[in-house]
Structure 1
Amino acid sequence: MSESKIRYRLLFFLTSGVRGGIEEHALSLLQHLPRDHFSFALACPPELIEAMIDELTDLPVTVFPVRATDWTQWRETLQLHHIVQQFRPHIVHCHLFRATLVGAPIAWAMRVPVIVETYHGREAWRQGGFIKGRFVIDRLVSCCVSHIIAVSEAAARFLTEHKRIPVNKITVIPNGRDLRAFQPGRRAGSAIRKRFQVPASAPVLGVIGRLETQKGHQYLLRALPQICAAFPDTRLLLVGEGSLYAALQAQAKDLGVHDNVIFAGFQRDIPAFLEAMDIVVLPSLHEGLPLTAIEASAMAKPIVATAVDGTPEVVRDDTTGILVPPAAPDDLANAVLTLLQRPDLAFRYGAAAHAWVRQQFDLQRQVDETERLYLELMAMQKR
């Protein structure tokens, strides 16, 4: 059989049960990698399978529910071993540290030819102490990994400078999105505003992301009273679910802005929600390379974002949006007010963002580069 006709078995392994940017990243690869080169399997928690069931149903993907998040879960770890034994993958692709920690040694011990990790950005929770802060375990586990994909230049720098991973073991493949789904001017946003009883003239700020500490919602809420003082009809539209739902609701009440905040929960039609927003805000404390920034830019929305990790690689300060320091409510408020007070500037940023992401962050580019890396790594195994 010729090289072009070989179909490699590719197993994706994820440990999070929540559907977020990383999970969308993996799903996009499953949807768009060429089926003439690969057959697919996905091993992940059953909650994630349920969250993605509509998309997975239409894909030729073998799905294995498993919750192997660390080595203390010996039953789940043994289950993952059985999955690898059953599917016999040529390539195991792990996403995030916990997946690599468990999945890479199992795949290596079972002689899987190629083991890939996608590194989505620094783990801010891993600070201090010999075990957490020095990344000794990361370097040990990396011995089981054939190659690491970094989703941004910032992520690659963190791997080399802090985790001390060799440069020749890292390839930067920036995140991408299927931009055909993100077309401004669909007028779907007016239906979203009507659904949540937002006046047509009210400014709408939007955050799309899990309600977790990393995403920085609490700092934007602290900025909101200052914004509402100048623009009282402002609405803050929060799209996403997470463990901080109750805490953020309580914070909004304490700050006196509860009536200005809309908790929309998890939503599938992200382009429509972006259309409803005037300004997209990313107040994150850390990011790999944020998909929301790509999607908002594709919808020609101006962005206010924190200058963390890979975000400046998508949001260009004073060109497609405004970058501010993380955990800085006053800076968030001032940046938002600048765009609300200057709609001409907001429009210019949105137009520039639209052009920028269509040049740099189309999904097909990410898929092509990932496929090329897989095939190169497999070819190296045959030498």
Structure 2
Amino acid sequence: MSGKKKIIFAEYFSFIGGGQIVLLNLLKGLRKTYDVEVLLMKEGPFETLLKTNKIKYTIIKAPKKPRYRYVFAYFRFAKAAYAYLRNSGASLLYANGFLSLKLTAMPAYFAGMKMIWHKHIIVDKKPLSYFGLNSAFLSMFVKKIICVSGAVMRSMKNAGVKGGKMAVIHNGMDPLKYSKTQRDKIRAKYGVKNGFVAGTVGFFRRNKGIELLIDAAEIAVKKCKNIKFLIAGKGAQGDEEYEKYLREKAAGKALKNNFIFAGYGDRKLFIPAFDVFVLPSPAEPFGMVTLEASSMMVPVVAFNTGGTPEIIKDGVNGYLVKEVSAEALAAKLLDVMKYKKQLIKAGRAAAKNVKENFTVKAQVDKTASLIEGIINEQNRG
């Protein structure tokens, strides 16, 4: 027995995205103080990552359709999850994301376990929306909600969640090193040695603005043949067909070799090849990739929405586009590429910003303080 208080971290997704990287950083930081264990609901790459980092985990497979039509399958899952949590000896359940909480809230509640919800996404403004109604309902079961940005918190308040339950803790990361060798290697491989490269990386999800980026690329290339778009990624889990649609959309434009799909790969290997990183999401809650690109001195061009303005100051350590449109994004990219010295200056300021304001240590310390407060309150009760 370690004598440490035990915390169960619930994770629904099996891929390795920004939310999973955030969770891994928290697990590695918090295990110095707590006995941490992960309740996984799917097998996959994230499981391998946990093994590599010697983090304990248990798999209880979730229903295949956790959003709709899963009631009977859910009862089987809930029964197993309840037994696991009841016998775990844990002081707290930490649900990483909406689906993780949705699936474990009831089992944890009946097991008498306090809960924290790590909220990564912005709740849409539509009245009676699925996420809005569920967010308000699920918030009743948790002691605290950690929002990754002020934008996420505001959206939760709009959905009817009490502000006193929420705290903003920005994601942090360990700085990444820029590699000129890697930059040259990628640019040579994809034939963009001498062009101005605007790039992006990640999973192709329908809310990430890749379609908008393709439209912006068409506008920009018509005005400047020297701008190249390099896209590294693949279709999101469960929606692989979307990548095919995006490739067909790009092929139908007059882009020729100016818009390149590079396939999926380690984002750290691609980002140094970019002159700017483009974040085309109409409303990004808090992009980990914004921190990653910034830490490698690659300034980010993004819309002035969501949590992005909490990271970027326009013209100082990156660039913000005021209007969410392909035309406005294209205009900003064409403007930015004219000023190479300013780009270098913005890149250095971006790396400094990450190093000073968005560290893993700061995130872990704030999270640990919040956790300890809940556990102590529970002990006093």
The TM-score normalised by the length of structure 2 is 0.89
What is the CA deviation profile of residues 127-176 of structure 1, one whole-angstrom value per residue up to 9, with x for unaligned ones? 34x3637x34433322210111011112122222x123222211111011
- Provide the residue aligned with 2:53 in structure 1: 58
Letter in 2 for 1:348: K
Query: Quick one: structure 1 residues 325 and 77, their matched pair in 2 at CA, closer, same or farther if it must change by over 3 Å?
Result: farther
What does residue 203 of structure 1 align with? 196
1:84 match: secondary structure: helix
Aligned to 1:84: 85
Whole-Å separation in 2 of the counterparts to 1:15 and 1:299: 30
Residue pairs, 1:153-164, within 5 angstroms: 153-160=150-157, 162-164=158-160
Are residues 317 and 111 of structure 1, via their aligned partners in 2, closer, same or farther at CA, if it must alter by over 3 Å? same
Q: What value does the CA root-mean-square deviation take over the aligned residues?
A: 2.3
Q: Give the alignment of 1:157-172 within 5 angstroms.
A: 157-160=154-157, 162-172=158-168
Structure 2 residue corresponding to 1:231, chosen from 216, 224, 232: 224
- Residue 169 of structure 2 corresponds to residue 177 of structure 1: no
Provide the residue aligned with 2:126 in structure 1. Answer: 127
Matches within 5 A, 1:14-163: 14-46=11-43, 49-68=44-63, 69-70=66-67, 72=71, 73-74=73-74, 75-112=76-113, 114-124=114-124, 127-128=126-127, 130=128, 132=130, 135-160=132-157, 162-163=158-159
- Partner Cα distance (2:170, 2:353) in 1: 14
State whether structure 2 residue 184 is matched by structure 1 residue 190: yes
Q: CA deviation at 1:231?
A: 3.5
**Residue in structure 2 matching 1:7, options 1, 4, 9:** 4
Q: Which runs of 5+ in 2 are unaligned?
A: none
Asked if 1:218 is matched to 2:211, the reply is yes
Cα distance, 1:228–1:137 mapped onto 2, change above 3 Å: closer
Determine the C-alpha separation between the residues in 1 that align with 2:77 and 2:258: 44
Please identify, of 151-160 and 83-92, the stretch whose mean Cα deviation from structure 2 is larger. 83-92
Structure 2 counterparts to residues 283-298 of structure 1, below 5 A: 283-298=280-295
Residue 365 of structure 1 aligns with which residue?
Answer: 362
Relative distance call for 1:177 and 1:224 in structure 2 (3 A) is same
- C-alpha change, 1:60 and 1:137, in structure 2 (3 Å) is closer
Corresponding position of 2:263: 265
Distance 1:225 1:250 in 2: 14
Q: 1:297 to 1:223 in 2, by over 3 A?
A: same
CA displacement at 1:252 relative to structure 2: 0.7
Task: State the distance in 2 between where 1:155 and 1:356 align.
Answer: 21
CA contact (8 A) 1:11 1:43 kept: no
Do the aligned partners of 1:297 and 1:354 also contact (CA within 8 Å) in 2?
yes
- State how far apart, in whole Å, the 2-side matches of 1:63 and 1:263 are: 37
2:272 pairs with 1:275: yes
Aligned residues: percent identity?
23
Deviation, structure 1 residue 86: 4.6
- Answer whether contact 2:135 2:156 (CA < 8 A) is retained: no
2:313 is matched with which residue: 312, 316, 329?
316
Whether 1:352 aligns to 2:346 is: no
Deviates most, 230-239 or 373-382? 230-239
Q: What is the rounded CA distance, in whole Å, between the counterparts of 2:200 and 2:90 in structure 1?
A: 38
CA distance in 1, matches of 2:180, 2:92: 40
Runs of 4+ with >4 A deviation: none
The separation in 2 between residues aligned to 1:139 and 1:334, in whole angstroms, is 39
TM-score, length-normalised on structure 1? 0.89
1:246-266 CA-to-partner distances (Å, cap 9, x unmatched) read 111011111122532222333
Given that 1:31 and 1:59 are in contact with CA atoms closer than 8 Å, whether structure 2 keeps it comes out as no
3-state secondary structure, aligned to 1:155: helix
* Corresponding residue SS for 1:255: coil
- Deviation sequence 1:312-340 (CA, Å, 0-9, x none): 11121122222124640011111111111
Q: Distance in 1 between matches of 2:139 and 2:202?
A: 29
Gaps in structure 1 of 5+ consecutive residues: none
Aligned mates of 2:119, 2:53 — CA distance in 1: 27
